[in-house]
């Protein structure tokens, strides 16, 4: 599917991470929809991103269900506390599509401590909820929104795990379009490591007085 024909819905995309990804993809030429439980919040976020693009692209804002229905590919950027309920509400609309799950199972207040759910990871939980009709891919957990929202070269890599190699390859193309370097990190079971790294990076940010620690893969071409 070409950039022109692919519509990406960033569900729960009114937060900083969601708006950062929406900005990067709209800038790259994709049709982007920001979704939210409340359509008005999505419209406000979409207007903010459109303004950031200086009118060179238009981002739409819709409620999550309509955004998921109109999208060729969906990206979920909700807090973990809303993860299950959002997936249950959108299950039918996501069938036959790729879902990129950006969710990290952080459990406040101990967000610097890795706390994985019974399914193994948020992405594996999404697989259980959505069923085999949806290709779930895990990505972008280890990239700070501080990098996404600005026009800068990002010195961090993105690990991509997922339920099929073809789905991972599609998402790696989106990673590249966002101006980042993506790596195929294997099957969805490996998402436990990728998601767990987020708590490690949060801890290191606090320990060393930073806001945007990331990871970089070395030794590969």
pLDDT in tens, 73-85: 999 999 999 999 9
In order of their start, the domains of the chain are 7-208 (3.40.50.720)
Entry field: residues in the chain:
221
pLDDT in tens, 20-38: 999 999 999 999 999 999 9
Structure tokens at 202: 């949060």
Whole-model pTM: value is: 0.94
Backbone angles phi, psi at 65, to 5 degrees: -65, -50
Instruction: Measure the CA–CA gap between 69 and 82, rounded to whole angstroms.
Output: 19
Q: What is the pLDDT of residue 5?
A: 63
Q: What is the pLDDT of residue 2?
A: 45
What's the mean per-residue pLDDT of the chain?
94
165 pLDDT more than 70: yes
Q: What's the rounded mean pLDDT across residues 135-149?
A: 89
pLDDT in tens, 41-51: 999 999 999 99
Instruction: Measure the CA–CA gap between 197 and 116, rounded to whole angstroms.
Output: 11
| Confidence label for 111 from pLDDT (cuts 50, 70 and 90) | very high
The residues that bridge with 182 in the sheet, in sequence order, are 158
Q: What's the rounded mean pLDDT across residues 52-64?
A: 93
Residues above pLDDT 70, as percent of the chain? 98
């Amino acid at each position: 599917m070409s950039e022109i024909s692919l519509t990406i819905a960033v569900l729960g995309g009114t937060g900083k991470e969601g708006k950062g990804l929406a900005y990067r993809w709209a800038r790259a030429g994709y049709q982007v929809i920001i979704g939210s439980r409340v359509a008005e919040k999505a419209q406000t976020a979409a207007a903010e991103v459109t303004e950031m693009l200086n009118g060179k692209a238009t981002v739409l804002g819709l409620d999550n269900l309509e955004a998921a229905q109109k999208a060729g590919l969906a990206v979920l950027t909700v807090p973990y506390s809303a993860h299950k309920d959002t997936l249950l509400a959108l299950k039918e609309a996501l069938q036959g599509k790729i879902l990129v799950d950006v969710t990290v199972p952080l459990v406040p207040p101990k967000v610097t401590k890795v706390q994985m759910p019974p399914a193994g990871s948020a992405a594996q939980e999404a697989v259980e909820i959505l069923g085999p009709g949806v290709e779930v891919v895990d990505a972008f957990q280890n990239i700070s929104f501080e990098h996404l929202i600005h026009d800068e070269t990002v010195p961090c890599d993105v690990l991509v795990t997922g339920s099929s190699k073809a789905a991972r390859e599609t998402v790696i193309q989106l990673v590249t379009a966002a101006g980042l370097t993506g790596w195929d990190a294997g099957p969805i079971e490996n998402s436990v490591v990728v998601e767990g790294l987020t708590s490690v990076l949060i801890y290191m940010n606090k320990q060393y007085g930073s806001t945007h620690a990331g990871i970089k893969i070395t030794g590969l071409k």
